[in-house]
Structure 1
Amino acid sequence: MELHPLLGSLQLTVPEGQGCFDCPPVDQVLPQFLRLFACGGPQGTGSNAEAGMTRDLLAILEAVGCQWLFGGGCQNAAPKLLRDLAVALCHYAAPLQQEPEEGDAGSPYAAVADRAEDAGLVLCNVVAKVEAAKGLGSAAVGSALRQLAGPAFVFAVTHVADTPWSKARSRSLAQELLDGLLRASDCRSVPEFLRGAREGEDGWFAAVMQCLKPELTKETWQRNPATKHVFSSMLLQVTRPWLSQHLEKVLPPSLLLSDDYRVENKILGVQCLHHIIRNVPAADLCHFNRAQVVYHALSHHLYSKEAQLMQVVLPCLLDLLPILERAPQRLAAPSDEVLRLVLTHMETEHRLSLRRVYARSLPAFVERLGIQVARHLKRLQQVIVGYLEVSDGPEEAARLATLETLKRTIQHAWPRMTCRLTVLLKALLRMMWDVVTDSSSTPEPVKNALLQRATECLLLLDHSSHGQVKVLLQGVLRSCQDEHLKEYLQKVQEEPTKSLSPPELKKEI
């Protein structure tokens, strides 16, 4: 049989006694192919030559069986060659960061999807042959899968999502490659592929991270816009207890992302850090002062004015604080430091989007501190009164969350409420009057929710002040002209006053 045109150009020789083979052995074909690929083709002519070679190689692979990869005397060479091939194809189809050329109105990644399609066809063929060769019983097959899995998975995840550097065909091939990898490794899902199919069995996470490692340094991670998405999507699929053994591999890239100047990268980095905090034991995070490093990285974001960033930073800090406070206490606990800073920003914040984010997180901070929230009552009272005064739109998310904050504050710090009763009572009544006289587009269920939560706060204040709220409300009820508001105030008057401890306060309301 005549050699394929690419084989002829490689000037290969068939060893004596092997003339019956349709083409030379794999350990002759792939090394020369990889050398030519590295220099851009037989004449070093760039991407067109690389595309031609990729299609020629696909034609060769389609013409041979799986025995060609693992038969003959090349068993030891095949696994490493397949890994080098997968790495070369990853680089060939990588969406490297690039600026549009002058006069080019199209995407700077327009050609990447075409390259990914050619490379994906080759990798799908190789993985299919590895899967078929499992029945041969060759030790080289298992070794080939170990070498191939990392770069092939990176390629698949890079091109499987709907991104500027993909198209329908390249995404379809990437999904086909991913499915082939799962079948070849006897896994039913991507999380199982990464962490291991059975108890005590290592997955492919370490192999994939080893492949990604050169792309995740401070100098290299921004060259390829797909790298951060591959890393984050892979990380988020590995959970407790498997993630702890990979902590040293995943923590530095997550910190690197969160420290970037672009908001979208900061958000992605914080999401990665939050996943690590939730899925790694506290003892491992405290070891080598890792938790403190993460805390410093997150605390810098508290000065941001980006609502989307704060929306992920505050919940992340809330989950980190219990871990930090297991360590020996400093003069000021991290929870106090964070709440003090959050309240400072809340006092002066006028953007409604950021006010909502702060207000939604505040109840959890109060719950976290418990009775120790009494240290912050002066500042907390100012924030509560200020946020109850301002409507934040039809959903009233900030006001509802602020009422929840007040409720939890009273439950935890009830002995300190009597001296603040007048200010808080005025703020609640003023807000309730605003709600019942509101003629805007606020839905009735939202208004009712505000009035109901305000009533709960009035009841708690009454219990904590030994009935003083009922006395002060008597004059309000006599002069109130709105029947709807009187209905809620009457509930407070009819409720028997009790002297309760904090646990009983929580149970009652």
Structure 2
Amino acid sequence: MELNSAGETPSRKSPSLCAQWPPTVLGQTFSQILHRLTGQEARRGNARGAAFQDLSAIIEATECGKLFEESGPPIRGMPEMLGEVAKALGSYAAPPNEKEGRSDSHSEVAEKAEEVGLLFLKLLRKVETAKNSLVCLAWKTGLHHLEGPIYIFAITHSLKQPWTSPRSQDVAGQVLALLLQVTDCGSVARFLHGESEDEKGRFTVVMGLLKPDLNKESWKNNPATKHVFSWTLQQITRPWLNQYLEKILPPSLLISDDYQTENKILGAHCLHHIVCNVPAADLLQYNRAQVLYHAIFNHLYMPEHHLIQAVLLCLLDLFPILEKALQWKGDRARPTTHCDEVLQLILTYMEPEHRLLLRRTYARNLPAFVKRLGILTVRHLKRLERVIIGYLEVYDGPEEEARLKILETLKLLIQYTWPRISCRLVVLLKALLKLICDVARDQSLTPEPVKTALLQEATDCLILLDRCSRGQVKGLLAKSLQSCQDSRVVSWISRVQQASEDAPYDRT
């Protein structure tokens, strides 16, 4: 290859000559290729493809030592130039804007990703060769400029997304594995945060590259950015995450605040990871925990079960942090908490809800709220009673997830609030007996183990009711045993009678 007098990109007729170029000429060549990859002519597919082929040939033919040599002014050093080229290659293989994205363009992106991935493998092998050589000592500088753009490319195309294919995912996975090998990191987490708390990782570099695409105006320009940020964030845990809190909290709130449900869920997962891995003191500082709470709480008004599930899990881990700031004095009533506020809203939506997926989601998380509030659940006892009775009456499909979770909730409720249960004994007893009769006589496709689990949970609730009412359930069931002709129902009710005889009532 030769560089003509006009400074144009060399032709591809003699690639072996590039091994003899001085650093200045090699730097000029890379500068020209970078211009072709990022300039106006890059919009023409054939021009960009030609520049890509030239770059591949030069990297393959150039000795590893010369790739990382510093060029004198006015040309930027080769390591810095390689970093700029790596960024341009990542942009070349980036998925299209969400508004412009089409299924046919996604296949083009996957093909580009394969080409770029193979080129990054060549570059990283050059780094590995230089690393093992005692002659080239500048490879660390070159790797420092390359590792951020290459990491973002690898994560963009190794995760399963609409713009990836099995082949592009495989190539990107190879790129990531080789990057970790070259940087002597055993995992992505160590690559990002370093081997120890004192060692500086690459997370700051990665966030610096993502930052231009993570503001309010630009974060939807590249649909991969939010996924790269989310996946990267969740690789860092305690005790490293809190030092990056100022960098990760604003993008997480931004993604969570979007109108699209998919982005709300992604943002909720990011915020949940922050809640679980940042010390409470850091979250309470500057009122961050309250900001998180209000950002997440507003999502509870959305009737989307995946979003509700993500939000409730996040809130349950956030409650202990918020309550650290509350101080209770024994001479007055305990103040209502954020958990009370959320449970009140959940019960408001649960009572009339008819969509099975939402019913299951609410019921799945209800036991955790009762455990969290403990005896303070009495504040919500009337509404909980209506919800429990209403949900026990409705068949929930073969797995019966909602009714099983409601029975678990009832057991916890009896255990925590048993002094207030006796006045509700008859209502709860009727609901449980009706459930036992319906399940025992059920001829639907519900698996037998599920029926057994329902009957066992209902029986346990009856036993608890009997103990907290000092034997009243046993007396009321005696008449039912005499008139009932269903042997299966009789066998389960008899277990309540037997358990009541075995356990004294003063152990309630």
Q: TM-score when scaled to structure 1?
A: 0.90
- Report deviation, 1:201: 2.1
Counterparts of 1:59-70 in structure 2 under 5 Å? 59-70=57-68
Q: Distance in 1 between matches of 2:5 and 2:487?
A: 90
| 1:130 lines up with 2:127 in the alignment | yes
Post-superposition offset of 1:124: 2.2
Partner of 1:112: 109
**Is the contact between residue 214 and residue 220 of structure 1 (CA under 8 Å) also seen in structure 2?**
yes
Q: Deviations over 1:115-159 (max 9, x none)?
A: 223322332222222222223476642222222211110011111
Cα gap change, 1:74 to 1:148, in 2 (>3 Å)? farther
- Equivalent residue number for residue 449 of structure 1: 453
Indicate if the aligned counterparts of 1:257 and 1:265 stay in contact, CA closer than 8 A: yes
Correspondence for 1:435: 439
Whether the 8 Å CA contact 2:192–2:236 is kept in 1: the answer is yes
Question: Is the partner of 2:105 in helix, strand or coil?
Answer: coil
C-alpha distance 261-45 of structure 1, shift in aligned 2 (>3 A): closer
User: Who is 2:83 aligned against?
Assistant: 83
Pick one of 391, 401, 406 that aligns with 1:387.
391
| Aligned-partner SS, 2:80 | helix
> What is aligned with 1:400?
404
Aligned pairs for 1:245-256 within 5 A? 245-256=243-254
- 1:287-298 matches, within 5 Å, as 287-298=285-296
CA distance in 1: counterparts of 2:18 and 2:121, whole angstroms: 29
For the residues of structure 1 that align with 2:497 and 2:20, how far apart are their CA atoms?
Answer: 97
Letter in 2 for 1:442: T
Match of 1:320 among 318, 332, 344: 318
Unaligned runs of 5+ in 1: 13-17
1:95 has 2:95 as partner: yes
Distance 2:201 2:135 in 1: 22
Larger deviation, residues 244-253 vs 388-397: 244-253
Q: Which residue of 2 aligns with 1:243?
A: 241
Partner secondary structure for residue 218 of structure 1: coil
CA distance in 2, matches of 1:412, 1:444: 31
User: Would you say the 8 A contact 1:27–1:74 is kept in 2?
Assistant: no
Residues 94 and 112 in structure 1, CA contact (< 8 A), matched pair in contact too: yes
> What is the distance in 1 between the residues matched to 2:79 and 2:23?
17
Give the Cα–Cα distance (whole angstroms) in 2 for the partners of residues 110 and 258 of structure 1: 29
Equivalent residue for 2:504, pick from 482, 493, 498: 498
Provide the rounded CA distance (Å) in 1 between the counterparts of 2:490 and 2:165: 62
In 2: Cα distance, 1:19 partner to 1:480 partner = 95
What SS does the aligned partner of 2:381 have?
Answer: helix
2:204 alignment counterpart:
206
- Mark the CA change 1:415 to 1:235 in structure 2 (over 3 Å): closer, same or farther: same
| Shift of residue 178, structure 1, vs aligned partner | 1.2
Equivalent pair of 2:86/2:150 in contact (CA under 8 Å): yes
Q: CA RMSD in A?
A: 2.6
C-alpha distance in 1, partners of 2:466/2:139?
A: 75
Q: Deviations over 1:308-360 (max 9, x none)?
A: 21122212211111111111359531010011111110001011111111111
Equivalent residues of 1:373, 1:413 under 8 A apart: yes
Preserved contact between residue 79 and residue 141 of structure 2 (Cα < 8 Å): yes
CA deviation profile, 1:370-411 (whole Å, cap 9, x unmatched): 011011111110111111111111111111110000000011
Q: Is the 8 A contact 1:291 1:323 kept in 2?
A: yes
2:480 counterpart residue number: 476
Structure 2: how far apart are the matches of 1:385 and 1:153? 53
3-state SS of the aligned residue for 2:106?
coil
Which residue of structure 2 lines up, in the alignment, with residue 177 of structure 1? 175
Task: Report deviation, 1:32.
Answer: 2.6
Q: Secondary structure at the match of 1:448?
A: helix
Could you tell me which residue of structure 2 aligns to residue 15 of structure 1? none
Q: Which residue does the alignment assign to 2:379?
A: 375
State how 1:254-403 maps to structure 2 within 5 Å: 254-328=252-326, 331-403=335-407
Contact persistence 1:109–1:165 (CA under 8 A): yes
**In the alignment, which residue of structure 2 is the partner of 1:164?**
162
* Equivalent pairs, count: 491
Listed one character per residue, the Cα deviations across residues 63-96 of structure 1 (whole Å, up to 9, x for unaligned) are 1111112236559812221221111111121112
CA drift of 1:7 comes to: 10
Cα distance in 2, alignment partners of residues 28 and 127 from structure 1: 22
Cα 1:455–1:6 shift into 2, 3 Å: farther
SS of equivalent residue, structure 1 residue 111: helix
* Alpha-carbon contact 1:112-1:166 (below 8 Å) kept: yes
The aligned amino acid for 1:21 is Q
- In the alignment, what sits opposite 1:154? 152
Matched residues in 2 for 1:118 and 1:74: separation?
31
3-state SS of paired residue (1:419): helix
Shifted more, 189-198 versus 263-272: the winner is 189-198
- Distance of aligned partners of 1:22 and 1:82 in 2 relative to their CA distance in 1, 3 Å threshold: closer
CA displacement 1:446-473 (0-9 Å, x = unmatched): 1111111111111111111111111111
Identify if the C-alpha distance between structure 1 residues 461 and 252 changes in structure 2 by more than 3 Å, giving closer, same or farther.
same
* Structure-1 separation of matches of 2:169 and 2:496: 61
Query: What letter is aligned with 2:409?
Result: T
Distance of 2:448 and 2:436 partners within structure 1: 13
Give aligned-pair identity as a percent.
52
Q: 1:7 to 1:167 in 2, by over 3 A?
A: farther
Aligned partner letter, 1:212: L
Q: Judge conservation of contact 1:3–1:23 (CA < 8 Å) in 2.
A: no
Instruction: Give yes or no for contact 1:455–1:489 (8 Å, CA) kept in 2.
Output: yes
Give yes or no for contact 1:6–1:53 (8 Å, CA) kept in 2: no
